[in-house]
A and B are shown apart, each in its own frame.
Chain A
Amino acid sequence: MARKLPAKDVVIIGLGWTGSILAKELTDAGLQVVAVERGPWRDTATDFSTAYVQDELRYRIRHDLFLRPAQDTLTFRNNARQTALPMRSFSSFMLGNGVGGAGIHWNAESFRFLESDFVLRSHLTERYGAKMIPENMTIQDWGITYADLEPYYTKFECMAGTSGTAGNIKGTKQPGGNPFEGPRSAPYPTPAQAQPYGPALWAKAAKELGYSPFPQPSGNLSQAYTNTYGIEMGPCTYCGFCEWFGCGNYSKSSPQVCILPALVRSQNFVVQTNCEVTRVNLDNTGKKATGVTYVDASGEEWEQPADIVLVCAFMMFNVRMLLNSGIGKAYDPVTNDGVVGRNFSYQTWSTVTGLFDNQNFNPFVSSGAIGYCIDDFNGDNFDHSKLGFFGGGYLGANMTNGRPLQASARVPKGTPNWGAAWKKAVADNYLSSYEFNQHGSCYSYRTNHLDLDPTYKDRFGRPLMRMNFDFDQNELRMAGYLTDRMAEIVQKMGAREIQKYPRTGPYNVSQYQTSHTCGGAVMGTDPKTSVVNKYLQSWDVPNVFVVGASAFPQNAGYNPTGTVGALAYWAADAIRTQYIRNPGPLVPV
């Protein structure tokens, strides 16, 4: 029997990026907030010592900062004819664990999505006709526009200190920035990072081919910055141990660096760590949440009553929390009925490796969000009428590191995997090779979805989340097209050898290909095709908000965190200015 705790105004499940943003905004509004986080407390000063944090084995290979599969994992199958099997270790994507969540170990690529991304179905229908959209492609509009979200993107960037070069300020194109981006109300809070040799050489080649390279918007800061909460951040030192690692310099945007020092000072805020929420509790009508139940590290069960429940875990676990709590109807791909688990998407990530003569890229001098990109082949910035696919992605020279285990894979084609020839090839190519990337979109399909596994259970006996996913031909054609365009730029740079690695099917769970899983509890205007309304409020249980990439109806050709952060501020604002005054559905059903 769970022991009941005193009621709070708000309980937050998970204290990563979205939980921290909402906690800060709502404690500032005077609400009593408790966050329940299943992983440990972590902080820069105590956990990310610059004396030993640069450890490839511990963090990159042994996954020191990540969720342990023994604690929780998911099962996977490509299609309904197969039996899903558990991910016994994580490879394809990495799930955060503990305070800060994935905001600790991300690269800090801080993009905004394109204006057309938010109205994808209407945009493609208008430009190409409804018949051009494949029947099984379940893409939809978000229910909000870029213009709606713009102030909240700005809010996120001003909190995170994002470094970049604006391409469009209030409709006026800016030199050196991304000409395809939506209008910004303000420049980036800090200028773009300095660039190493590889990206500089690539940008020159891209420009010569007629493209418009711009510096990748980066949460690795180019200079010291004091953010909107009065917290001081330090400049990035280009250490090359960014993504998969915690930052010891206070220079990577993260909840630890940008929010928690201000948040924990609030007397309205408490976080319980190493405590895992097992379900959201509903009253007997099933239309009102009464709080959450969680289990602490000693196995004791607690009930935390609250007026508002914010589901802010990683998207996978947001979806599972809804399914395990009976909030919203589970999606059935056979009948095409229900919504929870529907429109699960990912990222279609491809690479090109270039080997060069007489070049020294010093690959270890880098940051997590370094480099130049082009958006000429992102979203619908290029004509798709004769291509046989929709979508796109940014192309970039964004190599983040020279960590030896990763870098030792960059050898000429035909090199053996071991022995004297392998050893020599690694020695010869380490400094003079570069890996480029094509960060492709991933649209939604009827059969790509999340549900509960019938066999495998977690440590509490709850069914694991089951991921049903494969790449559609649309995505694979897009990946091939983008990879060919990238190879042309690398050719222009003068590479001796070019290796093309377009994403191929079937989707393979043992190959790392970004941690950008999306959807499953998507936002929209129609309760029949969305789990939450445009304010990320549950259609079914209005005092529950589900915040994160779980709300993306499909994924764009960008890293998701900038948009996730903007959505968190957008939802926080709706709760502060509308919901608190008048609790109930913010959008009539």
Chain B
Amino acid sequence: MTTYPSANGVSRRALLAGTAAALIWTTVSRARTVTGKLPWEANAGEPPQLVHPGPWVFFSPEEGASIEAIVDRLIPPDAQFAGGKDAGCAVFIDTQLAGPYGSSEGLYMRPPFLAPTPQQGDQNPNTPAQQYQRGLAALDAYVKKAFVGKTFRELTEEQQDTLLKGLETGRVQIDGVNGSVFFALVLKDTKEGFFSDPVYGGNRDMVSWRMIGFPGARYDYSDWISRHNERYPLPPVSIGGRVDWTRKG
């Protein structure tokens, strides 16, 4: 069990952050006067909160099942390394959508929202959470119609790949939603879940880091800077540590 000092500041921050937020964004932005000495207080930092597997916090069970099927085609499992589903990419997306990312917190969301040139960047008035809800509903309706009552996860892998490819290229049109924009969003989030630190719920067991040879959240390579063209010997480590560092059971 992690034991935090029960300082008031810590519990207040935890309260502000809410239970579902993957990151503590709620920086307490009181004006502050600094003079005479550097301010310091114990536990002033804001470490990320570990995402524990459990029930979906954003998706409905049906949405969660579809996303798990999608991420497993975007990053398929192979003999050595898990795919998107077992790597926790859907869990990552679920918690991210329930947090500040999902609600576009901190972004400039004032109107008017006008159609941009290709150079002017995203002008979508919908938050990622809204885009997922609408995108998944439209995809579900499309599949039910095109495959007589089936859901995405009930399709064969080939059918799933063809459908995803169709969304990506715009060949498949889903009702009321730009399919290629939605596809790009899901692909971006899936890769973020696959490669980010496991504390956020994806990259389970540091699967992507083991796959590519990234040693993770280490902070000192002074002993390796001059060792050229030699494989770095240590296995990856997460901000949350390693499974074999904690007691079993």
Binding site for B on A (CB under 8 A): 40-41, 43, 45-47, 49-58, 61-64, 68-71, 73, 76-78, 82-83, 85-89, 91, 99, 194-197, 200, 235, 237-241, 248-249, 260-261, 264-265, 267, 269-275, 296-298, 359-362, 364-365, 402, 404-405, 407-408, 417-420, 422-424, 426-427, 430-431, 455-457, 506-510
CB-based contact B107/A89 at 8 Å: yes
CB-defined contacts of A269 to chain B, threshold 8 Å: 35
Q: Nearest Cβ in chain A — how far from B183, in angstroms?
A: 9
Residue in A47, A86, A408, A417 whose CB lies within 8 Å of B108: A86
User: In whole angstroms, how far apart are the Cα atoms of A54 and B222 in the complex?
Assistant: 16
Top 9 closest pairs, chain A to chain B, by CB: A430-B212, A69-B108, A197-B228, A404-B195, A68-B106, A296-B31, A237-B220, A57-B196, A46-B44
Residue in B29, B34, B107, B225 whose CB lies within 8 Å of A238: B225
CB-defined contacts of A404 to chain B, threshold 8 Å: 195, 208-209, 212, 214
CB-based contact A402/B214 at 8 Å: yes
Interface assignment of B132: CB less than 8 Å from any CB of chain A: no
- A237-B219, A508-B119 known; A83-B114 Cβ under 8 A: yes
CB-based contact B121/A426 at 8 Å: no
- A402-B214, A426-B212 known; A273-B31 Cβ under 8 A: yes
User: In whole angstroms, how far apart are the Cα atoms of A362 and B27 in the complex?
Assistant: 35
Known: A57-B196, A273-B31. 10 other contacts (CB 8 A): A46-B45, A69-B106, A76-B119, A265-B37, A270-B34, A272-B33, A364-B214, A404-B214, A419-B76, A457-B110
- A55-B239, A238-B222, A420-B78 known; A49-B47 Cβ under 8 A: yes
The segment out of B60-68, B143-151, B229-237 that lies at the interface is B229-237
Residue in B31, B121, B200 whose CB lies within 8 Å of A87: B121
User: In whole angstroms, how far apart are the Cα atoms of A267 and B36 in the complex?
Assistant: 6
Residue in B25, B121, B168 whose CB lies within 8 Å of A89: B121
Interface assignment of B211: CB less than 8 Å from any CB of chain A: yes
**Which residues in window 79-118 of B have CB below 8 A to A?**
81, 101, 105-110, 112, 114, 116-118
User: In whole angstroms, how far apart are the Cα atoms of A40 and B191 in the complex?
Assistant: 31
Q: Nearest Cβ in chain B — how far from A94, in angstroms?
A: 14
**Which residues in window 22-74 of B have CB below 8 A to A?**
23, 25, 27, 29-41, 44-45, 47-48, 73-74
CB-based contact B209/A70 at 8 Å: no
User: In whole angstroms, how far apart are the Cα atoms of A34 and B69 in the complex?
Assistant: 57
Interface centre among A62, A69, A407, A417 (most CB of B within 10 A): A62
CB-defined contacts of A43 to chain B, threshold 8 Å: 38-40
Interface assignment of B161: CB less than 8 Å from any CB of chain A: yes
Q: Nearest Cβ in chain A — how far from B88, in angstroms?
A: 13
CB-based contact B35/A200 at 8 Å: no
Interface assignment of B75: CB less than 8 Å from any CB of chain A: yes
User: In whole angstroms, how far apart are the Cα atoms of A249 and B221 in the complex?
Assistant: 13
CB-based contact A297/B31 at 8 Å: yes
Residue in A45, A274, A455 whose CB lies within 8 Å of B40: A45
- A239-B218, A239-B221 known; A88-B200 Cβ under 8 A: no
- A69-B108, A297-B30, A423-B78 known; A55-B217 Cβ under 8 A: yes
CB-based contact B187/A417 at 8 Å: yes
Interface assignment of B122: CB less than 8 Å from any CB of chain A: yes
CB-defined contacts of A235 to chain B, threshold 8 Å: 222
Binding site for A on B (CB under 8 A): 23, 25, 27, 29-41, 44-45, 47-48, 73-76, 78, 81, 101, 105-110, 112, 114, 116-123, 161, 164, 168, 187, 190-192, 195-197, 200, 208-209, 211-222, 224-226, 228-232, 239
Instruction: Provide 8 A-B residue pairs closer than 8 Å at the C-beta atoms, listed in order of the A residue.
Output: A77-B120, A237-B222, A238-B221, A238-B225, A240-B221, A264-B38, A265-B37, A362-B232
User: In whole angstroms, how far apart are the Cα atoms of A405 and B27 in the complex?
Assistant: 26
CB-defined contacts of A365 to chain B, threshold 8 Å: 221, 224-225, 232
CB-based contact A405/B117 at 8 Å: no
CB-based contact B119/A78 at 8 Å: yes
Q: How many A-B residue pairs have CB under 8 A?
A: 239
- A271-B33, A274-B32, A404-B212 known; A69-B38 Cβ under 8 A: no
Q: Which B residue's beta carbon lies closest to that of A270?
A: B35
Residue in A82, A260, A408 whose CB lies within 8 Å of B191: A408
Q: Nearest Cβ in chain B — how far from A362, in angstroms?
A: 5
CB-defined contacts of A360 to chain B, threshold 8 Å: 229-231
CB-based contact A61/B192 at 8 Å: yes
CB-based contact B218/A506 at 8 Å: no
CB-defined contacts of B197 to chain A, threshold 8 Å: 55-57
Residue in A249, A264, A418 whose CB lies within 8 Å of B187: A418
CB-defined contacts of A274 to chain B, threshold 8 Å: 29-32
CB-based contact B29/A297 at 8 Å: yes
User: In whole angstroms, how far apart are the Cα atoms of A229 and B110 in the complex?
Assistant: 45
CB-based contact A364/B31 at 8 Å: no
User: In whole angstroms, how far apart are the Cα atoms of A77 and B120 in the complex?
Assistant: 7
CB-based contact B228/A196 at 8 Å: yes
CB-based contact A456/B37 at 8 Å: no
CB-defined contacts of A418 to chain B, threshold 8 Å: 73-75, 164, 187, 190
User: In whole angstroms, how far apart are the Cα atoms of A235 and B108 in the complex?
Assistant: 39
Q: Which A residue's beta carbon lies closest to that of B34?
A: A271
CB-defined contacts of B25 to chain A, threshold 8 Å: 64
Q: Nearest Cβ in chain A — how far from B89, in angstroms?
A: 12
Interface centre among B73, B209, B216, B228 (most CB of A within 10 A): B228
- A73-B108, A196-B225, A364-B214 known; A270-B33 Cβ under 8 A: yes
Residue in B29, B81, B107 whose CB lies within 8 Å of A88: B107
CB-based contact A88/B121 at 8 Å: yes
- A43-B38, A51-B239, A420-B76 known; A510-B109 Cβ under 8 A: no
User: In whole angstroms, how far apart are the Cα atoms of A195 and B229 in the complex?
Assistant: 12
User: In whole angstroms, how far apart are the Cα atoms of A52 and B110 in the complex?
Assistant: 33
Residue in A197, A273, A509 whose CB lies within 8 Å of B120: A509
CB-defined contacts of A62 to chain B, threshold 8 Å: 23, 101
User: In whole angstroms, how far apart are the Cα atoms of A196 and B44 in the complex?
Assistant: 35
Residue in A56, A76, A270, A508 whose CB lies within 8 Å of B195: A56
Q: Which B residue's beta carbon lies closest to that of A85?
A: B120
- A70-B107, A270-B33, A273-B32 known; A200-B228 Cβ under 8 A: yes
User: In whole angstroms, how far apart are the Cα atoms of A405 and B188 in the complex?
Assistant: 10
CB-based contact A419/B221 at 8 Å: no
